[in-house]
Copies of this chain bind each other. A is one copy, B any other.
């Protein structure tokens, strides 16, 4: 029968047999952002995003540590909480860890920093919007106001996969006062391998569709978006790393595709492998209670090499870290969250 309660509470949380039901719950928060108002891409300023609440949340007034989970390129928080027949969603993984006693209870917030370019890299750019400020100045205060978090740096972490891993690393570098733990699953590192490989594809597509605007129009109308994603990715990265006012400045000429050294250097300046060599960023990472990295040993974007190069830097700078290399590629690796979620919940839960 259709119970009142079920109508009220069950946003995607009641699972059939193939996945257990949650013991905790998922709620959606809505934030009408002042910062995103008038953003250059015309993306909405009011956004809804899910948060996982641990078992017993409703029956007590306990406050909990909070983990911010950042989606990868083309993803948002809503995807992380979505239902999948044979795969545990992030809330299900967290729930299972807590219920099995593998770690203390925490809240997990899955914010929305999506743009119509596929993502924002969680930084401020005049070509996308102030997503870094949005996260630190609007999302975190909202969460701390609406949910029973422990609103302290020592009880706040962030993690992500791919572009979300990039966001976790760079936000931890830039905001040492906000976060005590960071985890990057297959995060964007060493741009020479991870991005440059897709430049030729992007050159061809931009030539085909007469530039960025034409491409984005094509993309919007395309039924099969998959083959266009690598080009969208390059445009989104240009919007994040090398904006020229409200426009992305591409790191290559068209139609030839020759690299433009000055623009490419602007990209490289955003590579955590280079950022970490600035002492304030190194100090920020050194101050973390947990710095977790992993990558698949056959990552299609060579992010395992990126991770290895990055941790060589960490070693040289005396920055503690935990690194795991697992046998897989870049895709279909959501199951890896379970490792970082457990470690981070423990790191944030102890005093």
What residues of chain A have their CB less than 8 Å away from a CB belonging to chain B? Answer: 1-3, 5-12, 14-18, 27-32, 42-44, 47-48, 74-76, 78-79, 82-86, 112, 114, 116, 142, 146-147, 190, 192-193, 196-197, 199-200, 203-204, 223-226, 255-259, 297-298, 302, 305, 308-309, 312, 328, 332, 335
A27 partner, pick from B7, B76, B224, beta carbons under 8 A: B7
Min CB distance, A83 to chain B, in Å? 5
Contact B85–A76 (Cβ < 8 Å): yes
Contact B30–A3 (Cβ < 8 Å): yes
Contacts of A3 in B (CB 8 A): 30
> Given A114-B85, A196-B192, are A7 and B10 neighbors across the interface (CB < 8 Å)?
no
Contact B146–A1 (Cβ < 8 Å): yes
In the bound assembly, the distance between CA atoms of A10 and B225 in angstroms comes to: 28
Contacts of A7 in B (CB 8 A): 8-9, 27-28
Number of copies: 4
A74 partner, pick from B17, B85, B142, B258, beta carbons under 8 A: B85
- Nearest chain-B residue to A51 (Cβ)? B2
- Nearest chain-B residue to A87 (Cβ)? B225
> Given A6-B28, A197-B197, A256-B305, are A16 and B1 neighbors across the interface (CB < 8 Å)?
no
A18 partner, pick from B8, B116, B193, B328, beta carbons under 8 A: B116
In the bound assembly, the distance between CA atoms of A14 and B12 in angstroms comes to: 12
Contacts of A309 in B (CB 8 A): 256-258
Contact A8–B6 (Cβ < 8 Å): no
Contacts of A48 in B (CB 8 A): 6, 10, 14-16
Contact A28–B44 (Cβ < 8 Å): no
Contact B5–A305 (Cβ < 8 Å): no
Contact A193–B83 (Cβ < 8 Å): no
Which 9 pairs show the lowest CB-CB distances between chains A and B? A11-B11, A200-B302, A14-B48, A257-B305, A17-B44, A256-B308, A2-B146, A9-B9, A78-B83
Chain A interface mostly helix, strand, loop or mixed?
loop
Contacts of A223 in B (CB 8 A): 328, 332, 335
Contacts of A147 in B (CB 8 A): 2
Min CB distance, A113 to chain B, in Å? 10
Residue pairs across A and B with Cβ atoms less than 8 A apart, 25 shown, are A2-B146, A3-B30, A6-B9, A6-B48, A7-B28, A10-B28, A11-B11, A11-B12, A12-B12, A14-B48, A74-B85, A75-B85, A79-B83, A85-B114, A86-B225, A193-B196, A193-B257, A196-B196, A199-B302, A203-B305, A204-B298, A223-B332, A255-B308, A256-B312, A258-B309
Contacts of A328 in B (CB 8 A): 223
Min CB distance, A88 to chain B, in Å? 11
Min CB distance, A284 to chain B, in Å? 23
Contact A9–B1 (Cβ < 8 Å): no
Contacts of A200 in B (CB 8 A): 193, 302, 305
Known: A2-B27, A76-B85. 9 other contacts (CB 8 A): A2-B29, A5-B5, A5-B9, A6-B9, A7-B8, A12-B12, A82-B82, A86-B225, A257-B309
In the bound assembly, the distance between CA atoms of A29 and B4 in angstroms comes to: 10
Min CB distance, A335 to chain B, in Å? 6
